[in-house]
Amino acid sequence: GDSVTQMEGPVTLSEEAFLTINCTYTATGYPSLFWYVQYPGEGLQLLLKATKADDKGSNKGFEATYRKETTSFHLEKGSVQVSDSAVYFCAHWFEGRAGGTSYGKLTFGQGTILTVHP
Amino acid sequence: GAVVSQHPSWVICKSGTSVKIECRSLDFQATTMFWYRQFPKQSLMLMATSNEGSKATYEQGVEKDKFLINHASLTLSTLTVTSAHPEDSSFYICSARDGGGIYNEQFFGPGTRLTVL
């Protein structure tokens, strides 16, 4: 079935370090891919997205490229800040039909806790 | 972006009671709403999907009689945990999508922490 696998955490970095959080997926077809961020005590927020192969999503210094050949969507940031400390979720959205019914579903990875120290 | 609210933020109840959680889309019409459950340090697990005016579609393994979902309007969905037990204690998150509208993406509520004693 469809699934999303993220790099195990937690990840602890010093401020200004380079960040990579790996994400790979399995899906039938070509899903849209997302990274969500959950700050302490808050709901999930969309960080960035990519809807087709080779698309690069970017926001707040974070980037991720939709790699169809490796079924990956790794999140990167060149220089993290303390304020980036949060839980990051990779996800894919897939729309399909089953039994005459159309459906859409967002499937999440397990989440990666990022802590950035000053 | 659009805002999704949940009420209450947290609730503590006795075993055997029922608890209702509300999810509202504040500035858009949510054609589809989703309910998730999140265990500590784990991912979000989709419980059910509901379209306004239709019965909810539950994921495999989710008891529809235990978790009652109502999506009576384009801005409100409710999740009722019936006869709650300690194993139902969790963080419940709703999400709303305007499905082809202005945003065409999924927005998440802040979550509701349920503790069953």
In this predicted model, what pLDDT tens digit does every residue of A23-67 receive, in sequence order? Answer: 999 987 788 999 999 998 788 899 999 999 999 999 999 999 999
Give the gap in angstroms from C-alpha B11 to the nearest C-alpha of chain A.
Answer: 15
pLDDT band at B100 (very low <50, low <70, confident <90, very high): low
| C-beta atoms of B41 and A89 within 8 A | no
Mean pLDDT, chain B, whole residue set: 90
Mutate to test the interface with A, among B108, B112, B113 (most CBs of A within 10 A): B108
Instruction: Report B:15-44 residues touching A (Cβ under 8 A).
Output: 32, 34, 41-44
Question: Cα separation of B94 and B44, whole Å?
Answer: 10
Question: Quick count: other Cβ atoms within 10 Å of Cβ B77?
Answer: 30
**What values do phi and psi take at A82, rounded to 5?**
-55, -35
Give the gap in angstroms from C-alpha A87 to the nearest C-alpha of chain B.
Answer: 9
Q: How many Å separate Cα B113 from the centre of its chain?
A: 12
In this predicted model, what pLDDT tens digit does every residue of B26-62 receive, in sequence order? Answer: 988 888 899 999 987 778 899 999 888 788 899 999 9
A10 upstream amide cis, omega within 30 of 0: yes
Of A42, A104, A106, the CB nearest to B110: A42
Percent of the residues in chain A that have a pLDDT greater than 90, as a whole number: 69
Q: Which of B113, B38, B43, B109 is nearest to B77 (CA)?
A: B109
